[in-house]
Amino acid sequence: MRFNLVVPAVLLPLFTACKDDNITYTSGSGTGTSSSSTLAHIDVTPSSVTAFTNQSFKAVGRYSDGTEADITNDVSWSSSNSAVADLDSNGLATFSNAGTVNITASLSGVTSSASSLTVVASVVCGHTFGSAYSSSVNNSDNTIASGACLKIAQDSSNNWFTSAPSLAAVDALDITFLSESEIGDGVSGPSGGRFMLFNWFDSREWCEKLASISFAGRTDWAVATNTQLSGLFTALGNMYTGYGWPVGNYSYWSATASGSNYDSISLLDGSSAPNGPVATSYSSCISTST
């Protein structure tokens, strides 16, 4: 014989839970706190990172019942050296100096393992922490571009242009390209510096990479047009003798198509010529924002 057991609905407690270090529930008898699920561990990601611009960290809480939750905005963030990097309540680290610090997150007596943050020196040539990027525009040092930094020049319309990157700068930005490179001769490029050469498609991708990482605080980096690069030369002249850019035996790609080719502009003498898109040239990216 089969019996059906009917339980009055008024006797069934209704449970709702919010993830904190405990579970809060509501039942017919009132509201209370259950200790059945407590915060056991905090994981912070990334666990190790090298950065040159603002870096976000995330905290995930692991609970005793096997569940987890994003607690990034609930924890207290801490840097081992706020003179190098400090964090806001959302886990965003801002930098003041180069160096390495440990980042931890704490909540309800639980502290995460330390994440290592290495802040590299500014990758904008001539820029120092605490100063505006505009202070490094049109830097005239004719050797510094061979190091782990990228030069910025400004034309008469206040557009910013990047120099061809050195291999050291590409490495510092943690961007990988399978492009060729050439060595500066000290006459038309910084002596001994190894500078990247791009085909047209890689040049476009390079500028997109700079935009994606907010290089120099800007997100609109793109391949410059023939007119824009010519305007830069008209305003500033030979970009090596005046500003230490590599200009050597190669021109700079432009976004201006010429049939199936693209115009390239010499920043040594201002001349222009079409170039096949799989040929190699220097790459300059333009930002028109202010």
pLDDT tens for 184-242 read: 554 567 877 889 999 999 999 999 999 998 899 899 999 999 999 999 999 999 999 99
Give the residue-averaged pLDDT of 155-178: 87
Q: What residue spans in the chain does CATH classification 2.60.40.1080 cover?
A: 39-119
Give the residue-averaged pLDDT of 254-271: 97
Give the residue-averaged pLDDT of 255-280: 96
Look at the domain 133-287 and name its fold: Mannose-Binding Protein A; Chain A (3.10.100)
Question: Which residues does 224 contact at the CB level (< 8 Å), separation at least 6?
Answer: 161, 232, 252, 254, 255, 284, 285, 286
For residue 119, the model assigns a pLDDT of 87
3-state secondary structure of 226: helix
| pTM metric for this prediction | 0.67
Look at the domain 39-119 and name its fold: Immunoglobulin-like (2.60.40)
Q: What residue spans in the chain does CATH classification 3.10.100.10 cover?
A: 133-287
Identify the residue whose tokens are 């500014």: 122
Is it the case that residue 165 has pLDDT exceeding 80?
yes
